[in-house]
């Protein structure tokens, strides 16, 4: 006959259907969300002042400094990424700098360096690169437009930083000390 549950559910017009974010009408806590579909290919610079979900292909540079960038399960990104927060369900090849958080969800994949104060990598996610969670470094990298290089890289490549320089200097000092001790013992 008549089902009470169906009668109590309000009818939602098609324009108000749930967006991929799970929020009705493409809103996330009162913020606009822009979606780039699976068939869209963008080459160049992408910037904006709204949260963005990418399901397509983007090559170049993505800049959403005060907003959330979500790479959907079908998203394929080959770009330098700068955002407040980045959620990866698809594939990213390139460095990521976030002022808040980077989250690689299961089945997400990142090949490149990450600079952010908070980093979450889910079980089943793939990651190849370096992580810099220094809060000053992540903010500064995002402000300057470049991800911070990872610590421990060799000084010859120009990416080693102070730690590599100090390690090389102390090794030189140790060798000089051993040479002078050997010369003194020989006399």
Is residue 2, in this structure, part of any structural domain at all? no
Tell me, yes or no, whether 110 and 49 share the same domain: yes
Q: Tell me how many domains the chain contains.
A: 2
Is residue 145, in this structure, part of any structural domain at all? yes
Among residues 21, 16, 38, 161, the alpha carbon closest in space to that of 85 is found at 21
pLDDT of residue 34: 86
Tell me, yes or no, whether 95 and 120 share the same domain: yes
Is residue 110, in this structure, part of any structural domain at all? yes
Coarse DSSP helix, strand, coil percentages of the chain, rounded to the nearest 5 percent:
25, 40, 35
* Placement of tokens 């996610």 in the chain: 125
- Which pTM does this prediction carry? 0.60
Tell me, yes or no, whether 170 and 138 share the same domain: no
Tell me, yes or no, whether 48 and 27 share the same domain: yes
Task: For residue 14, give its domain range.
Answer: 7-150
Q: Residue 100, exposed/middle/buried by CB under 10 A (0-12, 13-18, 19+)? A: middle
Is residue 1, in this structure, part of any structural domain at all? no
Tell me, yes or no, whether 168 and 144 share the same domain: no
pLDDT tens digit sequence for 64-73? 999 999 999 9
Greater pLDDT, 178 or 129: 129
Residue 2, number of CB atoms within 10 A of its CB: 5
pLDDT tens digit sequence for 104-125? 999 999 999 999 999 999 999 9
Tell me, yes or no, whether 93 and 156 share the same domain: no
136-143: long-range contacts, CB 8 A cutoff, minimum separation 24: 138/97, 138/98, 138/99, 139/99, 141/97, 141/115, 142/65, 142/82, 142/97, 142/98, 142/99, 142/115
pLDDT tens digit sequence for 147-172? 444 444 443 344 444 444 444 444 44
Tell me, yes or no, whether 143 and 155 share the same domain: no
């Amino acid at each position: 006959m008549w089902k009470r549950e169906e009668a109590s559910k309000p009818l939602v017009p098609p324009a108000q259907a749930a967006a991929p974010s799970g929020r009705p009408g493409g809103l996330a806590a009162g913020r606009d969300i822009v979606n780039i579909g699976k068939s869209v290919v963008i080459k160049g610079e992408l910037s904006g002042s709204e949260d963005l979900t990418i399901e397509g292909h983007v090559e170049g540079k993505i800049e959403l400094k005060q907003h959330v960038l979500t790479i959907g399960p079908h998203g394929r990104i080959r770009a330098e990424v700068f955002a407040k927060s980045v959620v990866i369900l698809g594939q990213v090849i390139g460095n990521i700098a976030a002022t808040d958080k980077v989250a690689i969800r299961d089945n997400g994949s990142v090949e490149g360096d990450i600079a952010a104060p908070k980093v979450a990598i889910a079980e089943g996610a793939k990651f190849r690169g370096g992580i810099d969670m220094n809060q000053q470094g992540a903010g500064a990298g995002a402000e300057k437009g470049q991800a911070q290089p990872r610590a421990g890289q060799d000084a010859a490549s120009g990416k080693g930083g102070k730690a590599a320089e100090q390690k090389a200097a102390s090794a030189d000092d140790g060798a000089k000390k051993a040479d002078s001790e050997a010369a003194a013992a020989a006399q």
